[in-house]
């Protein structure tokens, strides 16, 4: 184990393996002004309290082009284990130093004890986190299998949180601070209790052009929001809950709500409960604008959207809620706040100005139609085309394409926004074969969503 206690900045380029200590099995930094690790490896180290690979007390840490893997914190007592790979703290949560990780990997670390407060299998950060061009994968703990975070101005950019496991809450990320994810992916994480992808406990999480997919939990496979969630130009897809809420849950006594804009919630499943795509709990507000809720399923009502609070505070404008099973909305679950919403059954009760109830929303299956995230592109002739309220739609769609576009066939000379997260653009002629194939997939997709069989 290497120990840094001097106030001067320290720099290290090295491989540190198989160390053992109470704090910082590989490196322990205490009250230094800054610790920089470049082209370094911390692996196979063990701590009995915190920081299996690295423990930093009141010291800013920067990792560049480095790997932190296979480190453990194993506490034999009820003392909570934290930061299987890296622990950066300084007293109370939110008051710690910064952790900056660039082009690095934090993988296959763990934090466990005989207690239940273990947290941060990969990373425990009590201050601000800057994670850029990096991967956090295969880590394990009770809360925050990948990352446990409590900073007030943190960012995750162009990074991936994948394959992490929480035996309690927040498989990929457990946050009770303020955090922004941009161009990032939270995928294939799991939680035994709730929040397979993300558990937001108070604080706020903002996601821009990001994907939350393939995560699983007993409840809330994708994102469990107990604080303030802002989702823009993002996709939440193919997450699974064994009980309730496959995609996004919004609720809790201290929750402040969710704002979802230009985003897609698709293919999420609540195996034996309600709210395949979205569930809203209690007197908490959730607003959706120009978003698409499609292809989700649940065992009980509310395959697309469910409200379990008795007070309907889920407001939709220019939104598509279609092709969900067994229905699109649970009874009295949504308000058509600004109108111009589209659905293919009567369960949502859309009756405001511009609302449409149609036989077929005519959407392609979730796929790559441009931009950093997967979306449902409208087919030619879809009733969503040019049917939104221009005054309410954003200037661009989920992919970054300009709105509005005259998508009528043939064009009528008037450009109106489309309902949903994607603005229709005519398919290029050279892609006719691809489009024909996608059209067939779209037909199969829509028939599957209605429980029909091809003969």
- Residue 327's pLDDT is 97
Return the closest-CA partner of residue 212 out of 149, 151, 146: 146
- Considering the chain, what percentage of its residues have pLDDT values greater than 70? 86
Residue 338: partners with Cβ closer than 8 Å, 6 or more residues away: 289, 315, 316, 317, 318, 352, 389, 392
- Residue 455's pLDDT is 27
Question: 53 and 141 share a domain?
Answer: yes
Is a pLDDT exceeding 70 seen at residue 350?
Answer: yes
Please check whether residue 452 lies inside any domain of the structure. Answer: no
Q: How confident is the model at residue 453 (pLDDT cuts 50, 70, 90)?
A: very low
Is a pLDDT exceeding 80 seen at residue 428?
Answer: no
Question: 159 and 15 share a domain?
Answer: yes
- Residue 396's pLDDT is 98
Question: pLDDT per residue over 239-258, tens digit each?
Answer: 999 999 999 999 876 557 89
Q: How confident is the model at residue 213 (pLDDT cuts 50, 70, 90)?
A: very high
Q: What total number of domains does the chain contain?
A: 2
Question: pLDDT per residue over 128-169, tens digit each?
Answer: 999 999 999 999 999 999 999 999 899 999 999 999 999 999
Question: 183 and 224 share a domain?
Answer: no
Question: pLDDT per residue over 269-279, tens digit each?
Answer: 999 999 999 99
Question: 157 and 297 share a domain?
Answer: no
- Residue 202's pLDDT is 84
The mean pLDDT of 25-32, rounded to a whole number, is: 88
- Residue 433's pLDDT is 35
Question: pLDDT per residue over 158-205, tens digit each?
Answer: 999 999 999 999 999 999 999 999 999 999 999 999 999 999 998 999
The mean pLDDT of 28-46, rounded to a whole number, is: 91
Question: 223 and 191 share a domain?
Answer: no
Alpha-carbon span 138 to 326, nearest angstrom: 35
Q: How confident is the model at residue 281 (pLDDT cuts 50, 70, 90)?
A: confident
The mean pLDDT of 16-43, rounded to a whole number, is: 92
More confident residue, 170 or 307: 170
Phi and psi torsions of 435, nearest 5°: -65, -40
Q: How confident is the model at residue 7 (pLDDT cuts 50, 70, 90)?
A: low
- Residue 91's pLDDT is 67
Alpha-carbon span 372 to 381, nearest angstrom: 25
- Residue 435's pLDDT is 47
- Residue 312's pLDDT is 62
- Residue 408's pLDDT is 87
Q: How confident is the model at residue 348 (pLDDT cuts 50, 70, 90)?
A: very high
Phi and psi torsions of 176, nearest 5°: -130, 40
3-state secondary structure the chain: CEEECCCCCEEECCEEECCEEEECCCEEEECCCEEEEECCEEECCEEEEECCCEEEECCEEEEECCEEECCEEEECCCCCCECCCEEEECCCCCCCCCEEEECCEEECCEEEECCCCCECCCEEECCCEEEECCEEECCEEEECCCEEECCCCEEEECCEEECCEEEEECCCEEECCEEEEECCEEECCEEEEECCCEEECCCEEEEECCEEECCEEEECCCEEECCEEEEECCEEECCEECCCCCCEEECCCCCCEEEEECCEEECCEECCCCCCCEEECCCCCEEEECCEEECCEECCCCCCEEECCCCCCEEEECCEEECCECCCECCCCCEEEEECCEECCCCCCCCCCCCEECCCCCECCCECCCCCCCECCECCCCCCCCCCCCCCCCCECCCCCECCCCCCCCCCCCCCCCCCCCCCCCCCHHHHHHHHHHHHHHHHHHHHHCCCCCC
Is a pLDDT exceeding 70 seen at residue 443?
Answer: no
Please check whether residue 450 lies inside any domain of the structure. Answer: no
Question: 196 and 271 share a domain?
Answer: no
* Residues found in the chain: 455
- Residue 135's pLDDT is 98
Please check whether residue 454 lies inside any domain of the structure. Answer: no
Question: pLDDT per residue over 62-85, tens digit each?
Answer: 999 999 999 999 987 677 899 999
Question: 226 and 191 share a domain?
Answer: no
Question: 122 and 258 share a domain?
Answer: no
- Residue 92's pLDDT is 61
Q: How confident is the model at residue 432 (pLDDT cuts 50, 70, 90)?
A: very low
Please check whether residue 383 lies inside any domain of the structure. Answer: yes
Question: 267 and 208 share a domain?
Answer: yes
- Residue 395's pLDDT is 98
Residue numbers of the domain that contains 188: 1-201
Please check whether residue 438 lies inside any domain of the structure. Answer: yes
The mean pLDDT of 3-19, rounded to a whole number, is: 71
- Residue 256's pLDDT is 76
Please check whether residue 324 lies inside any domain of the structure. Answer: yes
Question: 150 and 214 share a domain?
Answer: no
The whole-chain average pLDDT of the chain stands at 89
Is a pLDDT exceeding 80 seen at residue 391?
Answer: yes
Single residue among 201, 217, 252 that ends a domain in this structure: 201
Question: 63 and 97 share a domain?
Answer: yes
- Residue 30's pLDDT is 87
Contact between residue 108 and residue 135 where contact means Cβ atoms under 8 Å apart: no
Contact between residue 419 and residue 290 where contact means Cβ atoms under 8 Å apart: yes
Single residue among 201, 223, 251 that ends a domain in this structure: 201
Please check whether residue 100 lies inside any domain of the structure. Answer: yes
Please check whether residue 355 lies inside any domain of the structure. Answer: yes
Residue that the structure tokens 């099973």 belong to = 325
Is a pLDDT exceeding 60 seen at residue 392?
Answer: yes
Single residue among 171, 201, 231 that ends a domain in this structure: 201
Is a pLDDT exceeding 80 seen at residue 115?
Answer: no
This prediction has a pTM of 0.92
Alpha-carbon span 22 to 47, nearest angstrom: 5
- Residue 333's pLDDT is 75
Is a pLDDT exceeding 70 seen at residue 438?
Answer: no
Question: 316 and 223 share a domain?
Answer: yes
């Amino acid at each position: 184990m290497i120990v840094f206690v001097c106030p001067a900045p320290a720099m290290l380029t090295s491989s540190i393996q198989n160390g053992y200590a109470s704090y910082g099995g590989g490196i322990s930094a205490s009250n230094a002004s800054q610790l920089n690790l470049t082209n370094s490896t911390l692996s196979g180290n063990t701590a009995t309290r915190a920081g299996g690979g690295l423990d930093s007390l009141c010291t800013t840490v920067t990792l560049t082009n480095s790997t932190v893997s296979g480190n453990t914190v194993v506490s034999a007592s009820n003392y909570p284990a934290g930061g299987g790979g890296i622990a950066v703290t300084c007293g109370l949560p939110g008051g710690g130093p910064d952790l900056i990780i660039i082009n690095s990997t934090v993988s296959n670390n763990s934090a466990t004890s005989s207690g239940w407060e273990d947290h941060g299998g990969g990373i425990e950060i009590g201050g601000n986190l800057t994670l850029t061009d990096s991967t956090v994968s295969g880590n394990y703990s009770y809360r925050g299998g990948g990352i446990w975070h409590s900073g007030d101005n943190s960012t995750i950019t162009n990074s991936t949180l994948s394959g992490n496991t929480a035996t309690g809450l927040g498989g990929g990320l457990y946050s009770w601070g303020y955090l922004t994810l941009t161009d990032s992916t939270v995928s294939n994480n799991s939680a035994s209790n709730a929040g397979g992808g993300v558990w937001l406990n108070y604080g706020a999480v903002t996601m821009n052009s990001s994907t939350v997919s393939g995560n699983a939990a007993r409840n809330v496979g994708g994102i469990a929001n107990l604080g303030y969630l802002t989702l823009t130009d993002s996709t939440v897809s193919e997450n699974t809950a064994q009980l309730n809420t496959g995609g996004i849950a919004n609720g809790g006594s201290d929750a402040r709500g969710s704002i979802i804009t230009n985003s897609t919630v698709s293919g999420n499943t609540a195996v034996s409960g309600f709210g395949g795509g979205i569930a809203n709990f209690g007197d908490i507000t959730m607003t959706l604008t120009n978003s698409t809720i499609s292809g989700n399923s649940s065992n009980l009502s509310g395959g697309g959207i469910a409200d379990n609070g008795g007070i309907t505070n889920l407001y939709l404008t220019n939104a598509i809620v279609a092709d969900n099973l067994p229905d699109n909305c649970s009874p009295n679950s949504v308000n058509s706040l600004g109108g111009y919403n589209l659905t293919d059954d009567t369960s949502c009760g859309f009756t405001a100005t511009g609302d449409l109830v149609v036989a077929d929303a005519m959407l392609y299956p979730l796929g790559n139609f441009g931009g950093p995230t997967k979306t449902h592109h409208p087919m030619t002739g879809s009733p969503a085309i040019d049917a939104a309220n221009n005054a309410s739609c954003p200037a661009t769609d989920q992919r970054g394409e300009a709105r509005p576009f005259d998508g009528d066939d043939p064009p009528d000379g008037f450009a109106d926004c489309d309902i949903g997260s994607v603005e229709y653009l005519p398919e290029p002629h050279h892609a006719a074969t691809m489009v024909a194939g996608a059209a067939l997939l779209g037909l199969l997709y829509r028939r599957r969503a209605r429980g029909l069989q091809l003969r």
